[in-house]
Amino acid sequence: MSNVKINLRGDVREFPSGVTGYEVAQSIGAGLAKAACAVSVNGEVRDLRLPIEEDCELTVLTFDDADGKHAYWHSTSHIMAQAIQHLYPQTLFTIGPAIENGFYYDIDCDVTFTPEILEKIEDEMKKIIKEDLPIERYALSREAALEKMSSNPYKVELISDLPEGEEISFYSQGDFTDLCAGPHIMSTGRIGAVKLLNVTGAYWRADANNKMLQRVYGISFPKASQLNDYLTMLEEARKRDHRKLGRDLGLFAFRDEAPGFPFYLPKGMVLKNTLIDYWRGVHKRWDYVEISTPQIMKRTLWETSGHWDHYKDNMYTTVIDDEDFAIKPMNCPGSILVYDLAPHSYRDLPLRYGELGLVHRHELSGALHGMFRVRCFTQDDAHILLAKDQIKDEVIRIAQLFDEVYSLFGLKYKIELSTMPDDHIGSVEDWDIATAALADAITSIGKEYTINPGDGAFYGPKLDFHISDCLNRTWQCGTIQLDYQLPGRFNIEYTGDDGEKHTPVMIHRVVFGSIERFIGIITEHFAGAFPTWLAPVQVKVIPISEKHVEYASKVLAELESNGIRAEADFRNEKMGYKIREAQLQKIPYMLVVGDKEAESGTVSLRSRRSGDEGTVAIDEFIRNIREEIDSRAL
């Protein structure tokens, strides 16, 4: 039998051809083999059981790796399905994938799964885990697979959609078998701790014309302590839920009369406008000019841009004077029309258009989620027209702007490079050049990135900036999309230094992603206790009694004349009640005034951060808070 050379992070070892990833892990150490969830062979994630018959680079993936987690959670979804099969044998199973945090399984069952039933399923899962059942993989022909799954119409449909002639893999553990591409861990006993979280409804294949299924969500970890930490984080996240905080703090609301369309309340408008003012200041410093383009434009525009063919299902359309129009889902075609209003030369480039454009996208009702997923939002767009030799410098410049913005909010981030999807326009050569340009720009400034294959926009590759909040949850906000296609489709040009006409390249980029989503993110990140510069109300003035209202009014007027957002509580309520309510509203500062303060021209200062801070002169307080606001301190 011939041997294969396997490179294990620089350590090259020889193994008999046909060795499995699990056997390689065993050769390194029993601890690694026990922790192994999958392997990466020349960058491809593979099952531990598959034979290796070629020289390769191999990495053993554990729960600490993203792809290892995926295999671990996918395996747990099968354990959940097996437990459900034991308790409710009539259940039909559809798909049960791993997701970003845990797993789910969509099931067709006449029994409605209550919290009590989830506990039963969880107990049954623990029995299956304790049995330490080996998980085995095998493959069948299409015909044999259809016969095996003939009693489950959902699996039959999935198999029927697979390419002709392809072997179809199954995984078995004890009395349970599932159609699955894998990879999976070696046995059920490798799961340390498990928790079923909740049940929601989900249409089969996300099609509202299909049957509504039950989607059961869960999570698992190698150690019980990891599960406890995760559940603690979930509880903290519930306390920070932006939908509840938005309502309690008077920021925004949602109504059944307009599903997916947010209503901004007065304090929410202060927050939004403060963010926008900051955005405008940053972009002015970085040499952007602001434009505004129409909400509704003709179908012909969207056909030229490619959106009509590639994005129409997400667009709202209307008919005006017997012509088809669309409400814009994106701002980019409008920026091109602005560019095309005047001739340009190489001396004008890069030309940076910023636009706070209100866009509308049709989202399925089941996908709507507070400010995180809405049907209309203000996209903090910019479109940059430039020459090809300017790409690297401009991407560096944009990345530096992003770093400035995210650092202000105390948000760390990671960068992901998304490459060409199947549904793309333009030549592969152009895509390769564009992708390499983005990668080169990021690495040249010492930043790292990961590859997200096939997830680029249909017109070009992109860099996505995933920010992490205080609970280490990640959110995709900023994006830099390089587009060789759209300028050519609209035939826009500039005159080069050679006197010839050239087609510019277009960069699409957003920093916040959308104002609405970013507001949702920072509401949870700060738990509603916004930094003073962002807080809708920065100071609450509280007179001790009615006779102190006159002095409180003077304090209020002085604050407002210094550009400080302040309110006074003149209600005939007890002091403790007023202070408690201001605390619940998460107002950064409270100024309590009575006889002593009125006589001395001072205020009794209470801060959200430190509580009672004693007596301070009003001009000193104004000087300090102005410095805090002007520096945009966290």
Calculate the average pLDDT of the chain.
94
Tell me what the mean pLDDT of segment 258-268 comes to.
96
Q: Stretch 133-150: mean pLDDT, rounded?
A: 94
Distance CA 501, CA 13 (A): 57
The SS3 assignment for 493 reads coil
**Edge-to-edge strands of the sheet including 474-483?**
289-290, 351-360, 376-386, 505-510, 474-483, 462-468, 412-418, 449-452
**Structure confidence by residue, pLDDT tens digits, 50-60:** 999 999 999 99
Domain with CATH 3.40.50.800 in the chain: 539-630
539-630 under CATH 3.40.50.800, yes or no = yes
Rounded CA-CA distance 594/617 in Å is 14
Question: pLDDT at position 430, please?
Answer: 83
Share of the chain above pLDDT 90, in %: 85
In the residue annotation, 609 being an active-site residue is answered as no
> What is the Cα–Cα distance from 582 to 131, expressed in whole angstroms?
55
Residue 541: CB partners within 8 Å, gap ≥ 6?
552, 555, 556, 559, 566, 567, 568, 569, 590, 591, 593, 603
Q: Which residues contact 207 (CB under 8 A, 6 or more apart)?
A: none
Catalytic residue among 383, 397, 517, 548: 383
pLDDT at 165: 80
Q: Is the pLDDT of residue 208 over 90?
A: no
User: Is 130's pLDDT higher than 80?
Assistant: yes
Instruction: Check if 379 is active-site.
Output: yes
User: Would you call 207 helix, strand, or coil by DSSP?
Assistant: coil
| Known catalytic membership, residue 462 | yes
Label residue 347 by pLDDT band (50, 70, 90): very high
Do residues 68 and 55 make contact, with C-beta atoms less than 8 angstroms apart? no
CATH architecture, range 3-62: Roll (3.10)
In the chain, CATH 3.30.930.10 sits at 252-293+328-525
Q: Which of 332, 380, 469, 538 is catalytic?
A: 332
Query: Alpha carbon of 509 to those of 4, 225, 404: distances in Å?
Result: 46, 41, 15
For residue 244, name the pLDDT band (cuts at 50, 70, 90). very high
Q: Which helix (H) or strand (E) holds 451?
A: strand 449-452
Catalytic residue among 74, 361, 548, 586: 361
Confirm if 73 and 220 have CB atoms less than 8 A apart.
yes
Q: What is the pLDDT of residues 413-442, one digit of tens each?
A: 999 999 999 888 888 888 888 899 899 989
Among candidate residues 82, 379, 538, 585, the one labeled active-site is 379
Q: Where in the chain is the domain with CATH 3.30.980.10?
A: 69-239
At the second CATH level, the architecture of 252-293+328-525 is 2-Layer Sandwich (3.30)
Active-site position among 106, 381, 464, 483: 381
Whether 361 sits among the annotated catalytic residues: the reply is yes
For 512, the token pair is 């916040």
**What 3-state class would DSSP assign to 386?**
strand
How many CB atoms are located within 10 Å of the residue 33 CB?
Answer: 18
CA angle 252, 257, 262 (to 5 degrees): 25
Q: How far apart are CA 246 and CA 371, in angstroms?
A: 10
* Residue 267 and residue 251 in contact, taking contact as beta carbons nearer than 8 Å: yes
Dist CA 129 CA 187 (whole Å)? 8
Annotated active-site residue 538? The verdict is no
Q: Tens of pLDDT along 354-406?
A: 999 999 999 888 788 999 999 999 999 999 999 999 999 999 999 999 999 99
Identity of the residue numbered 504: P
Q: Position 488: which residue type?
A: G
pTM of the model: 0.82
pLDDT tens digits for range 501-548 = 999 999 999 999 999 999 999 999 999 999 999 999 999 999 999 999
pLDDT band at 343 (very low <50, low <70, confident <90, very high): very high
Question: What is the predicted pLDDT for the residue at 1?
Answer: 63
DSSP letters spanning 398-450: HHHHHHHHHHHTT-EEEEEEE---SS--S-HHHHHHHHHHHHHHHHHTT--EE
The Cα–Cα gap between 163 and 532 comes to 58
pLDDT value at residue 299: 95
Q: Is 214 a catalytic residue?
A: no
User: Amino acid identity of 11?
Assistant: D
pLDDT above 90: residue 153: yes
* pLDDT confidence of residue 470: 85
615: three-class secondary structure by DSSP = strand
The domain 69-239 belongs to what CATH superfamily? Threonyl-trna Synthetase; Chain A, domain 2 (3.30.980.10)
Can you tell me whether residue 285 is helix, strand or coil?
A: helix
- Grouping H, G, I as helix, E, B as strand and the rest as coil, residue 185 is coil
Q: Give 555-601 pLDDT, tens digit per residue.
A: 999 999 999 999 999 998 999 999 999 999 999 999 999 999 999 99
Q: Is 332 a catalytic residue?
A: yes
* Tens digit of each residue's pLDDT (9 = 90 or more) over 439-453: 998 998 888 999 998
**91 in Cβ contact with 109 (< 8 Å):** yes
Q: CA triplet 368, 372, 378: central angle to 5 degrees?
A: 105
Percent of the chain topping pLDDT 70:
100
Residue 380 buriedness (CB in 10 A; 0-12 / 13-18 / 19+): buried
List the catalytic residue out of 49, 242, 462, 489.
462
